[in-house]
Amino acid sequence: MQRITILGATGSIGISTLDVVARHPDRYRIHALTAHSKVDELAALCVRFRPDAAVVGSPEAAQTLTALLKNLGVPTEVSHGEEALCAVASSAGCDTVMAAIVGAAGLAPTLAAARAGKKILLANKEALVMAGQLFMDAIAASGSTLLPIDSEHNAIFQCLPQPYQRDPDHHGIAKILLTASGGPFLHRDVATLDSVTPDQAVAHPNWVMGRKISVDSATMMNKGLEVIEAHWLFGASADRIEVVIHPQSVIHSMVSYLDGTVLAQLGNPDMRTPIAHALAYPERIASGVAPLDLTKLANLEFHVPDLERFPCLRLAYDALAAGGSAPAILNAANEVAVEAFLDGRIGFRQIDQLISRVMHAATPEAVADIAGLFEQDRHARQLANAFLTT
Ligand code: NDP
Ligand code: MG
């Protein structure tokens, strides 16, 4: 029986994870579930999955959840805040942690799970983008297993020889080919991009996801973050990671080998496939996802990304090249920009402009510890917020 903590249980990835878990009650048991503010949703999940612990964002939310669970006769222990998140992520009561909090808020608990040697199913790419070296060092020191949930990285993992040494040369790999759908604005007239609304930006053609990652997909910052994520996960330099636009999202990514072989992973675009893969690895379990019907596929297209249309992709490659805290600065500026766009404070094209301004104004540094990293994150957010008002 695998005992699981789900960080971000009320989100899109959290709900998909619980869907897969519920199909296999003989294999999985829920140790802890966390949410930020969706208390009613978390209470309903506690009724259904009976976790030992539940964590929310504030004392008020914890009070409400405690009262709800008491009325419902559910004995789940309730706590709140970052320390409580770290506690359920590193608890002796769990073996596996699904890291599915969105943004930098997921870093501390995911790192706590890494230090505690847990099996980590990583959806929270921002944690790895921010803290790449520190995070991979923690994984190596504790001997914890890191399995990618991001569909592209999960696909790449499946196309790599195992055990993988985090060295493309060792395995005769020429390139990692990271596929990207191009999002909702792939063919839209660039001149009209600034008038798009948040609802148009989050309407992804192939995937149903949380609002932040949906905007990231529309700007292609999501792919930029994924290039940095692939760098850390697979030990590949930037020139070995190539982004390929593939609007159908049937191929979830590929690995190109020196002998001319290209291995690809295919499937319907449903996150339950990579989640089930990582949960059961190295075994395979049913995920509820329908098998791909190859005879019903239309043409599969592949294009080179247009960096004029998607400047965020270039900004991410720049941050990876700059190294040190540059990816953390990029991530922080992006989080502020996306929130401002979703709140209607800036237009769509101002997202990349704001990030670019912050990248120019901040000086990336080599960071030796997590406190230094959070300091850089805080400074970049301050800069971004100041630019928002000027
Ligand atoms: P959602 O917005 O749907 O869910 C986010 C979850 O995190 C919710 O449970 C939310 O709680 C919680 N949360 C939000 N802010 C905080 C905070 N400050 N502190 C603690 N918890 C918080 O996001 P997704 O599920 O779409 O994405 C989660 C992660 O997975 C992201 O990093 C994303 O990039 C990655 N990912 C997602 C994919 C997808 O298909 N959705 C695909 C690949 C990667 P509450 O509900 O209470 O607000
Ligand atoms: Mg992805």
Q: Is 124 annotated as a binding residue?
A: yes
Q: How far is CA 251 from CA 2, 107, 154, 301, in A?
A: 30, 29, 12, 10
Per the CB < 8 A criterion, the answer to whether 111 and 134 are in contact is: yes
> 298 pLDDT band (50/70/90 cuts)?
confident
Q: Which ligand is nearest to the CA of 102?
A: 1
pLDDT of residue 184: 95
Ligand 1 is surrounded, with C-beta below 6 A, by: 8-14, 35-38, 57, 100-102, 105, 123-126, 150, 207, 209-210, 212-213, 271
Q: Token digits for 226?
A: 């994924």
Per the CB < 8 A criterion, the answer to whether 181 and 249 are in contact is: yes
Q: What is the DSSP letter of 289?
A: P
Q: Is 11 annotated as a binding residue?
A: yes
Instruction: List the residue whose alpha carbon is closest to atom 21 of ligand 1.
Output: 36
**Residue from 6, 10, 13 whose mutation best tests the ligand 1 pocket (most atoms within 8 A of CB):** 13
Q: Token digits for 54?
A: 């539940």
Tens-place pLDDT, residues 244-257: 999 999 999 999 99
Q: Is 125 annotated as a binding residue?
A: yes
pLDDT of residue 206: 86
Per the CB < 8 A criterion, the answer to whether 114 and 139 are in contact is: yes
Q: How far is CA 368 from CA 127, 144, 177, 236, 318, in A?
A: 16, 21, 31, 22, 21
Give the contacts of 275 (CB within 8 A, at least 6 positions apart): 13, 16, 17, 20, 98, 121, 149, 287
Q: How far is the centre of ligand 1, averaged over its atoms, from the C-alpha of 12 (Å)?
A: 7
Q: Token digits for 332?
A: 């922080």
- Count each helix (H run) and each strand (E run) in the chain, helices first: 15, 11
Q: Is 223 annotated as a binding residue?
A: yes
Tens-place pLDDT, residues 304-345: 999 999 999 999 999 999 999 999 999 999 999 999 999 999
Q: Token digits for 17?
A: 């994870």
Q: Is 71 annotated as a binding residue?
A: no
pLDDT of residue 78: 98
Q: How far apart are the first and last CA of the chain?
A: 55
Tens-place pLDDT, residues 165-217: 999 999 999 999 999 999 999 999 999 998 999 999 999 888 889 999 999 99
> 277 pLDDT band (50/70/90 cuts)?
very high
Nearest CA to 215 out of 304, 312, 123, 330 is that of 312
Q: What is the DSSP letter of 292?
A: P
Q: Token digits for 116?
A: 């505690």
Tens-place pLDDT, residues 223-245: 999 999 999 999 999 999 999 99
pLDDT of residue 14: 98
Place of tokens 């994924």: 226
Tens-place pLDDT, residues 106-138: 999 999 999 999 999 999 999 999 999 999 999
What is the average pLDDT across 58-74? 98
Residues with beta carbon < 5 A to ion ligand 2?
A: 150-152
**Shortest-distance atom of ligand 1 to CA 216:** 34
Mean pLDDT of the chain: 97
Tens-place pLDDT, residues 31-45: 999 999 999 999 999
**Shortest-distance atom of ligand 1 to CA 8:** 9
Distance between CA 69 and CA 123 in Å, rounded?
Answer: 28
Q: How far is the centre of ligand 1, averaged over its atoms, from the C-alpha of 101 (Å)?
A: 4
Q: How far is the centre of ligand 2, averaged over its atoms, from the C-alpha of 168 (Å)?
A: 21
Residue 366 identity (one-letter amino acid): A
Residue 250 identity (one-letter amino acid): V
Rg, C-alpha atoms of the chain: 20
Tens-place pLDDT, residues 74-104: 999 999 999 999 999 999 999 999 999 999 9
Q: Is the pLDDT of residue 390 over 90?
A: no
Q: How far is the centre of ligand 2, averaged over its atoms, from the C-alpha of 142 (Å)?
A: 27
Percent of the chain with pLDDT over 90: 97
**Shortest-distance atom of ligand 1 to CA 36:** 47
Per the CB < 8 A criterion, the answer to whether 238 and 318 are in contact is: no
Q: Is 229 annotated as a binding residue?
A: no
**Shortest-distance atom of ligand 1 to CA 124:** 32
Q: How far is the centre of ligand 1, averaged over its atoms, from the C-alpha of 4 (Å)?
A: 17
